[in-house]
Amino acid sequence: MGRPLALVPLVLLLLPMAAGPGSPESWSWPLDDHAVGEKFDPPADRYGAGHRGIDLHGSVGDSVRAVAPGRVVFAGQVGGVPVISIDHGGERSTYQPVRARVRKGDAVRAGEVVGTLLGTRSHCPGPCLHLGRRVGRDHLDPLDLLGTGRFRLISPDGPAPQPPAGVDGDLRRPVGGPITSPFGMRVHPLTGVRKLHDGTDFGVPCGTPVHASGAGTVVETGYAGAYGTRVVVRHSPGLETTYNHLSVVSVSAGQRVHPGQTIARSGTTGLSTGCHLHLMVVEGGRPVDPMPRL
């Protein structure tokens, strides 16, 4: 009788352990088009000023998805702001302002829709999802768990989505279309003078929506000689983008814009051979090649 008893501990050790809750090693993006706005800036103390998460720009009605499997522990309002909190086993994710499609106690899968993005009660200039990450009372940076790849698969059916935003301060393409003239020295097609082409030309039809390449403030709109009608957006001290040869301008000086926001429509104003967008990136007052930033 002694030998079977001796085998029991060995058998138990060989059985697979039940899957218990544990913090996931990575998160998936809660919005399909993730344009990162304000980033994590933890406060110096529990009650101090800071940014306890990240902002992802979106549109009202966008589906908000769970970043990882877990269980809903809160779906209600905090200070009048609709909030969802999901426990992932050691860590929690929070989403606001979101109209919940789940209730407290619901189990959710990674990528499952838990609500829709609202446009009210948001601290962003436009609609945005504030995504938080907590362990106990400590706030952590969600970007540490989110994949930051610059490419994603899209469906070939339906309208084309907005170009994905870059991460770590990168910019996004303001329009689609082929590059018809890159940054660099060239002979100007109208003047015949060899000089620096100080931006990148994208071949798009007149009237194509032009999107802001990043969050910033409009510092100039209007007619600018050879550049035609243009918009200038300042993203940070020493970094601006300009959008040239426009047909229509949809913003005004002093206005805050978010990545992907429609700010104008392409055209052929100024010294131009046809409909296109001439995009410039200006760093420290000097034009640089836009493509490494896109």
Sketch the domain layout of the chain as residue ranges. Answer: 27-144, 179-293
Say if pTM beats, i.e. exceeds, 0.75.
no
pLDDT at 196: 85
Give yes or no for a contact between 243 and 263, defined as CB atoms under 8 angstroms apart. yes
Give yes or no for a contact between 252 and 284, defined as CB atoms under 8 angstroms apart. no
Residue-wise pLDDT tens digits, 233-242: 999 888 999 9
Instruction: Tell which wins on pLDDT, 153 or 270.
Output: 270
Residue-wise pLDDT tens digits, 148-192: 443 344 445 555 444 443 333 478 889 888 888 899 886 666 666
Q: Does position 7 have pLDDT exceeding 50, yes or no?
A: no
Burial 3-31 (b: 16+ CB within 10 A, else e): eeeeeeeeeeeeeeeeeeeeebeebebbb
Query: Options 3.20.20.120, 2.130.10.10, 2.70.70.10, 3.40.1790.10; which CATH number does 27-144 get?
Result: 2.70.70.10
Residue-wise pLDDT tens digits, 132-147: 998 888 888 888 888 5
| Max CA distance (Å), the chain | 101
CATH 2.70.70.10 fits 179-293, yes or no: yes
Query: Across the chain, what does the average pLDDT equal?
Result: 80
Measured distance CA(54)–CA(143) in Å, rounded: 8
Q: Do domains 27-144 and 179-293 have the same CATH topology?
A: yes
pLDDT at 254: 92
Closest to 133 measured CA to CA, from 145, 124, 149: 145
What is the dihedral sign for C-alpha 155, 156, 162, 168? positive
